[in-house]
Structure 1
Amino acid sequence: MAMSMAGAHVVVAASVDATTLHAPTSAPSHCIASKLVVPCGKTGTYAFDRHDTSAHCFGRKMAATEYCKEKIRNMDYLKLLGAGAVTLAAVTTTTFYYLTSRPQPIPLLCDLNDQTQEKDERYLLSFIEFACGEGMGNSQSIDLIVDPANQSEITDKNERSRMSKLCKNGKYLCEYEDGEVKTLYDAFKRGARVSNNGEAYGWKPSPSEPFQWISYNDVLVRAANVGAGLIAKGLKPENTTNVGIYSQNRVEYGITEQACYMYSMVLVPLYDTLGPEACTHIINQAEIKTVVCDKNVKVKAILNRIKETPDLESIILVEEPSEEMKELAQKHNIDLTSFAELEALGEKNPQEPKPAKPDDLCVLCYTSGTTGLPKGAMLTHRGTMATVVAAGAVLKPGGIDISPEDTLISYLPLAHSYERLLECYCVLNGARIGFFQGDVKLLLDDIKELQPTLFPSVPRLLNRIYDKVMSQINSGSGIKKKLFNMALASKENELKKSIIRNDSLWDKIVFKKIQASLGGKVKLITTGSAPLSPKVLHFLRCCAGCPVVEGYGQTECHAVCSVTLVGDPDTGNVGPPLPCCEIKLADVEEMNYYAKDNKGEVCIKGPNVFLGYYRDQAKTEEALDKDGWLHTGDIGQWLENGTLKIIDRKKNIFKLAQGEYIAPEKIENVYVRSPLVAQVFIHGESLKSSLVGVVVPDPEVLPGWAKTNLHVTQTMEELCANPDVKKQIMTDLTNIGKTGGLHSFEQVKDIFLYPEQFSVENGLLTPTFKAKRHELKLKFKSEIDEMYKNLYSLAAVVTVGDSNYARLTGVNKVLNMCVFILLLKSKMLLLLNFLFLRNTDVLRLDVIWKPHGKEIPYLQTLNTN
């Protein structure tokens, strides 16, 4: 018997006689060799053929039985009992730790299946200092439990409008009528009081230096000096005085803002990345005499077009003015003053504060403008405070109680109402605001050092976080994937019970790095300005260790009109209305959306709705109807639990040649669910019957996918030019479109892969990360034209034989179904239904009418371009 040694085990070789425990040498031909190796004490192992059907099977079974009996006889029961005791102790300890450390479910505001309510009459509720922390009045709404299945109710049966469950007797929960907090100036003073003059604004002087802080009272002192300095330069302390600010988020921005509120002036922010034409338009329309700039380059941009802005008289520059800027300003007779000089001027010429009234304007917030010039939304102190109070009423019962211990990271543009609203909520409660360094590449470094507790974000950034994590998991070992999936499943189970925490074993083992990348102390993540994929939202709620809420709104309603409830695990909706407004859906007949079907254009009414567009009555009448309803242009749907879901877009719709309406943003939101895709731009034309698209692949995912699936290692530029990559992405988009409910005419028929992300810097996104559709169309005009040329160009001659098949030459792109009118040689018209076969040049002709039964020698196609 031949034997091979392997450590302490011996395997019996295959060449043994028929009396051994092995299978016979001639096994049936249909059997597949497969051996079962059984350890045999310390002497060796027996290998059994699983597929042996001979009589020797009985002998092998007997041997296995004897082996098992021998093992039982020789078993060390003390060791077994010891191992069992250790295992039981470990399980008991783990279970005890889980049960004792697991927090109670978050108290829900309402039944999550019924989140809005019915209202018969419209009143405003005087609501004094609600949901703002220390010193606030008590309210029963804090203890109100909202049924998850019933989160809103119908407010007007004729209008079919709905309200938050927090509203009692149909009254808005929003206004301050008594007490001290009525304006944004009052809010900042309250923040100084409740924080005991704590830290207000923080900044990093340089990447190597730590954050430095300025207190609330110091901000108020400097704001008084800035306001007095502006008055000394000729501005009047009244609500018709508009002050421009052209700056990134920084301490001087906040000081200027508070100065305006202190002296009844109106702040007019300019987006940091707005082009010269838009800035000129804003300066002229708002009749701005003074602009505060942070950098010399922005001063130069304004002075280069100074002849187009006759009202502008002075510029305040935060950084030290360069000699070039001094000479240029002097040349154009513009007063150029440093921010420090303005403060010194105000200190020498002090003025008593003249605060704004609640119904006064606080900001002219110009919309980012996806098309055309921006419009100035008139926002009031009352409207802003109403939104802040309503948001607090929703967040606080879920455990989000903002206090001076909290810190917000400020990096989203302050010119956007979303960021301003969050900062107002923070200062109202005495929290700290830390400004990023101004460089997005250093944002993660700023976050890690600042360790914010409040993290406002947008889908673009959250998608990048998700993609990066999943890319690392998918490229990791099988054990790593399994461990991650187990951790995710455990967190999902807790999330279903409204349990959110960051101290479980899985948090410490698996999710620690994800949470640390956001500073490690985040207790609330908010997302808005664009839809967030349900998959990403669910992932973040499990991994971030804190509530993640999604809001919906626009500048015209002070940034937000609905928000998901803390503790609601549902995705795919934007929550019930805030208690400061009501929402209805209006019929959109051309898109077949009707309010009776709980679908239609989202309309908002309440004190958080803006007054109108500054000096633009025509645009105001387009947005606000005679009853005060704001028409958003978004298509919404009421879900069964009373929450709102955004399903389409009205403003950017267009028709294809066959008459079908297309909402490109709806299609884009479906396609970005592909893990290979980061951004999508859908384009169509009224003279074309199909859609094309520009796709930006995800740089975190595509290279790894290509290496694994295509066995290629290429740059993003090379991958975008790779036809196999394009084919896979096209297939993925088609499949996702089908599962996402897209009609066939809503699916793209061709795509162009572009390696560079659409961004604010390259002018393809607005500062709030919305697509600039006009600019995208212009940039990719040649690629769009080429795609349509390939789609619709056919050969000039089609040869027809006796059969129903014709052969085309020069077909650049195969179509699924088209109907052409072909011109016959005999000058007669024949209508043919063409069914194009994919990936071939063979075409089947279904003849609808054949004139006089004559044979058709050949047909000449019409060019459809």
Structure 2
Amino acid sequence: MPISSKSNSMVAPGCRTTCCCVLMTGLVGLLLAPNLLAFWQWGKAIYQLGLRQLIFHFRRVRKLRSCSICTRVILPTELYNLCGCCDFLCCQHCALKGEASHEHVLHDEVEPLVVRTSPLAAANTAAQALAISFHLYASRRCVGWRAGESYIWHSYEEIGNMSANFADSLQRLLRKVSVTKGIPVIGLLSAVSIPWFIVDFACSLAAIPLVTMHRATDDAALAQILDKTGLRLLIASKHLLPVIQRASSRASASQLQLVILIEDSSEPYCLQQSSRPLVEEETDSRPPSWQQNGFLETLQEGNDALRVPSWRDPKRLAKLLPSSGSTGAPKLAVVTEEALFKDSYGRTPESSVDIVTYAYEAIRQSHDVLMQGGRIGVFSGSLDRMLEDVRALRPTVFAAAPTFWTGLYNDFENDVAEEGGAGVVVASIFQPNQWTLEDGVDKATTHRTHALGVQRFITRVFGKLVVDGYGCTETGRIASNGAVAENVEIRLLDLPELGYLTSDSPPRGEILARTSYMAGYFSLERFTDQGTFRQMESDSEDWIVLNSVMYFRTGDVGELVAPGNVRVIDRCKHHFKLAQGIYVAPEPIERVLLQSPLISQIFIWGCGVMQATGAVAVPSMKLLQKLGLANMSLAAAVESANDEASALVLQSLADIGRRCSLRAWEIPQRIVLEPVAFSENAGLLTASGKLSRIALIRRYGKLLSDQRSDCTGLEITSALPQTPGLCAGLHRILKHISPKQNFDPRDSIISLGLDSMGVARLSAQVWQKFGHEVPARVLFTLETLADLERLILAGPRAARAIVGKCSAVVNFEEEAAARCEDLARCIKGQASAQGTPQSGHVVLLTGSTGFLGSFVAHALAHAGFKVLCLVRATCQEEATERLRSCLRFYQLSEEVPETISALPTTGVENPCLGLSEHVMPGIISTIVHCAATVSGVLPYSALCTSNVTGTKQAILLALQTGARLVHVSTLGFVDDGHPEVGRVSTAHLHQRSGYAQSKWMAEQLVWRATESFGLRAVVLRPGTVSGARSGASNTTDAVSLLLLGLVKLGSTCLDDRSPLPAGFNLVPVDYVADAVVVVARARRSLPPGPIHLCAQEAISTRTLCQWLSEDGHELKDLSPEEFCKRVQQVDETHPLYALRSSLGTSRSASADLPVLEARNERALKLRTPRAMTKDLLVKSIKFLRSAHDSQCQFRPQSITDEKGVANPK
């Protein structure tokens, strides 16, 4: 409808150039233009807009338009005529000359000027962004309506002024309305029109909470909204006065004081001619309890001097959106200021876009369109005239609900049946010289996944331009063409009753959605006096809390096609149970059965007393033709031949059901023919055109179930399960790879007890099941199994947010200072109990069941020491058996020597290294601390407890007993060429493994205790500990797995870009064990600082491969690409399986061999060879192959006491 206001039109601002610049650029235009008129148009455009603006426009415009007569390019802001049925275009000059003779109607158009949208980036609120849009695109067309054959448009400036006027009037009216609590909420109940958008924009500008209701909202739903919100002011279409009056009477406590009426009668096309009529009903003769005012009068009472604040509370209530009400009373979803701003203006484009959208229903994305400088064409009021609207408007975006597309497809199918083939009908759709939706629409948007036939039809008509949108009122957009939106996190919930599990392939379950902006449903209790909305609560069955995270239950069943890509396959919210205990989904069945040409609408239902489904169907005219009753009305025909008609419809439904592979109980066995179509006025359709199932069940449930009782108890049976633990898919994976059998979402990843091979298997199986790559380094940054579950099911952006939240960067300097202070407090707390220095031959050894620890225990015992070995166990017998198994496995001893005693411990991270009081030894001369959790994949945070806290407990016990501490560290954090000093810079520490970082931190505690508290300590830093002279080797060490893996693979890669390390600094385990013995025996002082235990020269990977080849192992030299490909193909039993992530890509350049300084080692005067030889390598490979082939049955499973180097240099 045309609307007039007090605002004056504003000339679009443009740059004014100098006369010289105009002439120069005009000459350029003359070269490009075919005549003097074109030269004049170019010069005029340059003068009005500026040369820079014009250049920017032509660089950004997506499509140049030219006159079909004179071929001149249409310049920005220029008026031209465009045909609504074909691509004919005529400039204004040719039209005035009378050369624009054309067979079709021509519509006036204006070429929009592309402008920079950078001013929008400065907006902090939705109102501020809206005001900037009105100014930025002032002269552009904004909202239009169709009067006659063409659309008439209001500019952005006009809409902005009218919105400001109306906002000012609303603020004045609301001051007169008494409100008991908070800021008043107003309602909007109207058909889509120019006033609808003005009200919407005005409320955004003035920060007035708005309830936007569909025009088909009935009196029952409106009454509930009046009670829930306490509405004082309602803006409504005049023809809906009867609905408002009845709703006010039905409401338990209506507080409505003022109704502003929109005059529908001034519409160019009467809304009552719509195919979904808005029937005038008799108004109650009693006078209304509220005051009435006209929309135009209210608009004219305001002024446009509205002040828009630069900041608003993000939690402030902006809008309330009623749900569809398909399962009962509509609920009011809350949209906060933050959600409105981020969703509409959070993605500012670099330049404006010529978006033209068609609003046949009130659109939620109107703010999005205005942000990009687009325009909105309003529906003329009838679906019968929609094609005329589209031809006059030529929209670039056409969005429609599922009911629209399904109805269009059904009409198409019926036409195919009549014409005798799809080719004839499709050819008629695309007739020559006829404009169709495909010609102008850049994007066709649907709103839910359709049946396969509907999808194919839409794709064939629109080509590659179809966007299948998926979302809901409570969360907004969820996915587009299956791809989860950036600000959305989803997960799948197992539905065991329906047979949908995340352990399926692909994973399936109910889709749960979560966004950072969703605020739940409205209630006055959560609405504060400041207009803000308190934190969302899960007080409705539509919301569920899983592991402290709240999700919305969409009621849709989806399958995870790929990471961040979900496909809707079913519906679980409307399921019902039959007598056999089988759950049935009605919506997919309804979509299939609507293919029958004999029906136009259908409703499927069942209950616990029915063996198969029943149906309520609205017959089509083709049923009458088949009955030979084409001259009769539908109601009369159904009444006179009900049995015959029912039989024909049931047979048609059965044929279609069998053809589409429906199960026997899904095909209706009972039917009720309803001659009156389901409609909104009858309460059988929701505002969005969906079936109102509650109302349908109450009306037809007794007829379908053949029960004589009423249908009060025949409600929708929900198949939704109670709040579960982990999803079935992840639970099955964990049971397969972890020694644990029970898992809680709050469990840490560390609690799974996985070694490197187990971690690799977990990553691989997550990839195979969910298609989500979770590298080991990422896996252990997650705090709990719940985080892992969210990560593998969420969309890409949500996954990045989860990883970012858990992957905190450690400041090692600050961390070291804090831990040293904690150590100092503990030492001062036990100062009175500190012991005097001890001498003797009693050694307390930690980590004795690890690879290095076993050899150290054996070497100390043979050197005459009494060795007390700490073993994680519950009793003395278990500890002794574990120690015996380790010594036997590494070929050291069949039995535990008499000089070795096994002491059970609960863990070295506990006080007194986990020793109980009754087994605490007396005099201890030396504590050798070898215990550490060794892993190349665990992060620093996961290793602190065992590696850093364990060292702290060893220091405290050494000071308490007066023993000397031999701390076994690592060279993993030492830079090449670094001298043997205690302080190592943290400059490159973030590039090291979590194991190396934890060992660096543990060393800081040792040096602090040595310098400040007199701890007698020696720090040994071994290189990569390799096999013994006997050949016994560490079967879980990365280097051992790599070398054995190359032998098993029969391949290597010696290229400069090889993913293999350049080499290793290998030292035999015998050499390191003998060094510990010498240090424990030493009576004289040793050199200050740490002692590096490493070979004089590192051994290159090329040399190791050459030795293996000389021993008869065939190693084929592959290219980096081929080698990486072969490594990625190995199975779980292969030694390289645990190393696939580090061998997946080639290097950009060759790496140098590590060079380390080892001078303090000379003071030990060791005679044991410290270099790896070919003979040692051959023996080691033989041992590793034998152990691997026997599945390492006797190897200890605990990784807590294991000693090795995870990231060898």
Pairwise same-fold verdict (TM > 0.5): yes
Task: Give, as a single letter, the amino acid of the residue that structure 1 aligns with 2:671.
Answer: I
Q: Does 1:556 align with 2:500?
A: no
Task: Give, as a single letter, the amino acid of the residue that structure 1 aligns with 2:487.
Answer: C
2:694 paired residue number = 774
Residue 752 of structure 1 and its aligned partner are, at CA, apart by 2.8
Distance 1:765 1:181, change over 3 A: farther
Secondary structure of 1:420 counterpart: coil
Identity %: 24
**d(CA) in 2 for partners of 1:333, 1:722:** 48
Give the counterpart of 2:321 among 354, 365, 368.
365
Residue 285 of structure 1 and its aligned partner are, at CA, apart by 1.2
**d(CA) in 1 for partners of 2:313, 2:257:** 27
Q: Does 1:587 align with 2:529?
A: no
Give the counterpart of 2:552 among 614, 630, 636.
630
Secondary structure of 2:671 counterpart: strand
Secondary structure of 2:301 counterpart: helix
**d(CA) in 2 for partners of 1:641, 1:241:** 44
Distance 1:254 1:320, change over 3 A: closer
Residue 195 of structure 1 and its aligned partner are, at CA, apart by 3.3
**d(CA) in 1 for partners of 2:298, 2:202:** 12
Secondary structure of 1:211 counterpart: strand
Q: Is the 8 A contact 2:576 2:584 kept in 1?
A: yes
Return the structure number with greater helix share: 2
Q: Which has the larger radius of gyration?
A: 2
Give the counterpart of 2:567 among 645, 654, 658.
645
Could you give the per-residue CA deviations for residues 237-272 of structure 1, whole angstroms, max 9, x where no partner exists? 998331111111111111111111111111112221
Residue 635 of structure 1 and its aligned partner are, at CA, apart by 1.5
Give 1:237-316 correspondences, 5 Å limit. Answer: 240-298=183-241, 301-302=244-245, 305=248, 308-316=252-260
Task: Give, as a single letter, the amino acid of the residue that structure 2 aligns with 1:579.
Answer: E
Task: Give, as a single letter, the amino acid of the residue that structure 1 aligns with 2:565.
Answer: T
Give the counterpart of 2:160 among 220, 227, 232.
220
Residue 465 of structure 1 and its aligned partner are, at CA, apart by 2.5
1:603 paired residue number = 512
Residue 462 of structure 1 and its aligned partner are, at CA, apart by 1.9
1:342 paired residue number = 298
Q: Is the 8 A contact 1:315 1:336 kept in 2?
A: yes
Distance 1:633 1:212, change over 3 A: same
Secondary structure of 1:652 counterpart: coil
Distance 1:389 1:580, change over 3 A: farther
Distance 1:361 1:305, change over 3 A: closer
Give the counterpart of 1:195 among 137, 147, 150.
137
**d(CA) in 2 for partners of 1:314, 1:525:** 40
Q: Does 1:669 align with 2:669?
A: no
Distance 1:332 1:693, change over 3 A: closer
Secondary structure of 2:171 counterpart: helix
Q: Is the 8 A contact 2:483 2:564 kept in 1?
A: yes
Q: Does 1:521 align with 2:440?
A: yes
Give 1:386-397 correspondences, 5 Å limit. Answer: 386-388=342-344
2:670 paired residue number = 750
Residue 382 of structure 1 and its aligned partner are, at CA, apart by 3.1
1:233 paired residue number = 173
**d(CA) in 2 for partners of 1:320, 1:484:** 38
**d(CA) in 2 for partners of 1:650, 1:690:** 18
Give the counterpart of 1:432 among 355, 375, 384.
375
RCO higher in structure (CA 8 A, sep ≥6): 1
**d(CA) in 1 for partners of 2:286, 2:606:** 50
Residue 733 of structure 1 and its aligned partner are, at CA, apart by 2.8
Task: Give, as a single letter, the amino acid of the residue that structure 1 aligns with 2:397.
Answer: L
**Structure 1: segments with no counterpart, 5+ residues:** 1-132, 138-175, 489-505, 565-574, 790-865
Residue 183 of structure 1 and its aligned partner are, at CA, apart by 3.9
**d(CA) in 1 for partners of 2:346, 2:648:** 46
Residue 682 of structure 1 and its aligned partner are, at CA, apart by 0.9
2:261 paired residue number = 317
Distance 1:484 1:666, change over 3 A: closer
Q: Does 1:532 align with 2:450?
A: yes
Task: Give, as a single letter, the amino acid of the residue that structure 2 aligns with 1:435.
Answer: V
Q: Does 1:656 align with 2:599?
A: no
1:411 paired residue number = 360
Distance 1:134 1:783, change over 3 A: farther
Q: Is the 8 A contact 1:531 1:669 kept in 2?
A: no
The number of residues matched between the two structures is 561
Distance 1:703 1:195, change over 3 A: farther
Task: Give, as a single letter, the amino acid of the residue that structure 1 aligns with 2:480.
Answer: V
Tell me the TM-score normalized by structure 1.
0.58
Task: Give, as a single letter, the amino acid of the residue that structure 1 aligns with 2:558.
Answer: G
Residue 460 of structure 1 and its aligned partner are, at CA, apart by 2.0
Could you give the per-residue CA deviations for residues 697-716 of structure 1, whole angstroms, max 9, x where no partner exists? 455x6577x49xx8988765
Q: Is the 8 A contact 1:447 1:519 kept in 2?
A: no
Give the counterpart of 1:686 among 588, 608, 627.
608
**d(CA) in 1 for partners of 2:456, 2:513:** 28
Return the structure number with greater strand share: 1
Secondary structure of 1:686 counterpart: coil
Distance 1:329 1:340, change over 3 A: farther
Task: Give, as a single letter, the amino acid of the residue that structure 1 aligns with 2:373.
Answer: G
Secondary structure of 2:580 counterpart: coil
Q: Does 1:420 align with 2:364?
A: yes
**d(CA) in 1 for partners of 2:705, 2:319:** 43
Q: Is the 8 A contact 2:345 2:371 kept in 1?
A: no
My pick for the range that moved more, 590-599 or 380-389, is: 380-389
Distance 1:685 1:185, change over 3 A: same
2:617 paired residue number = 695
Task: Give, as a single letter, the amino acid of the residue that structure 2 aligns with 1:420.
Answer: R
Q: Is the 8 A contact 1:200 1:213 kept in 2?
A: yes
**d(CA) in 2 for partners of 1:749, 1:185:** 56
Q: Does 1:447 align with 2:396?
A: no
Task: Give, as a single letter, the amino acid of the residue that structure 2 aligns with 1:220.
Answer: G
Give the counterpart of 1:204 among 127, 146, 164.
146
Could you give the per-residue CA deviations for residues 718-740 of structure 1, whole angstroms, max 9, x where no partner exists? 77547666445434433443454
2:721 paired residue number = none
Distance 1:712 1:766, change over 3 A: closer
My pick for the range that moved more, 273-282 or 656-665, is: 656-665
Distance 1:330 1:764, change over 3 A: closer
**d(CA) in 2 for partners of 1:289, 1:712:** 52
Residue 619 of structure 1 and its aligned partner are, at CA, apart by 3.8
Distance 1:628 1:782, change over 3 A: closer
1:614 paired residue number = 523
Distance 1:232 1:135, change over 3 A: same
**d(CA) in 2 for partners of 1:728, 1:303:** 42
Residue 778 of structure 1 and its aligned partner are, at CA, apart by 3.3
**d(CA) in 2 for partners of 1:525, 1:787:** 46
RMSD of equivalent CA atoms: 4.0
Residue 312 of structure 1 and its aligned partner are, at CA, apart by 1.7
**d(CA) in 1 for partners of 2:342, 2:372:** 15
**d(CA) in 2 for partners of 1:391, 1:743:** 47
Give the counterpart of 1:784 among 685, 704, 714.
704
Q: Is the 8 A contact 1:751 1:787 kept in 2?
A: no
2:1108 paired residue number = none
Residue 673 of structure 1 and its aligned partner are, at CA, apart by 4.0
Could you give the per-residue CA deviations for residues 318-358 of structure 1, whole angstroms, max 9, x where no partner exists? 22999x99x999955522211122223222x9542347454
**d(CA) in 1 for partners of 2:417, 2:583:** 39
